[in-house]
Amino acid sequence: MLLLVGLGNPGPKYERNRHNIGFMAVDEIVRRHSFSPYRARFQSLVAEGTLGGDKVLAVKPTTFMNESGRAVGEAMRYYKLLPEDILVIHDELDLVAGKLRIKRGGGVAGHNGLRSIDSHIGKDFHRLRFGIGHPGDKDRVHSHVLGDFGKAELQQAEKIVDAIAECAEKLGAREFDAFMTQVSLILKPPRPKSEKPEASAPDPASES
């Protein structure tokens, strides 16, 4: 089983915040792949489905960001999972807006949701990092992450979320490199090779 965790804050006030991109991505995966309706469990909203032939539990903690680890830890213990069975989708200040990276383990980079999860289950879980860019001034970080996406940003974010959902079977199969390759091809498809023009036949009128 894969525990697919989207990080965010509950409630309509936060729906379009940059900090809620994890919720947005998980919601689209749940919708696109016909998961069960959400229900309240493990201090979260939880939906069940299948991706890549593996059972997946989609989890959106309702504890607010800073206590996300309570919800993740409760679900992990109930199903007797290991940290490596968990994939967390979250916003990342240290990535350029619109960039995606996936890795296992690592630091928290000032992210309170990751810090909470680390404290409850350790660092050895997978992270799908969604770049939201840094505002350039540490005093503006709080308002940046808790601010709504701008119009152009939201269009870009929704395009990336669609690509994540389209390729989510690879997440269920734990084929993370293949997932990243597929997403990249959707977002930046290769340019078609230009066809060589056919050699024109000689004009009979020009022949002597």
| Catalytic-labelled residue, pool 19, 90, 111, 126 | 19
Give the pLDDT confidence of 109-168 residue by residue, as tens digits: 789 899 999 999 999 999 999 999 998 888 899 899 899 999 999 999 999 999 999 999
The Cα–Cα gap between 30 and 51 comes to 10
Ramachandran angles phi, psi of 48, nearest 5°: -110, 145
The Cα–Cα gap between 41 and 202 comes to 77
Give the pLDDT confidence of 14-73 residue by residue, as tens digits: 999 999 999 999 999 999 999 999 999 999 999 999 999 999 999 999 999 999 999 999
| pTM of the shown model | 0.88
For the domain spanning 2-189, the CATH number is 3.40.50.1470
Ramachandran angles phi, psi of 55, nearest 5°: -65, 135
CB 97 within 8 A of CB 159: no
pLDDT at 206: 46
Is 33 known to be catalytic?
Answer: no
| Helix (DSSP H) and strand (DSSP E) numbers for the chain | 7, 7
Q: Where are the domains of the chain?
A: 2-189
Give the pLDDT confidence of 176-203 residue by residue, as tens digits: 999 999 999 999 888 877 655 555 555 5
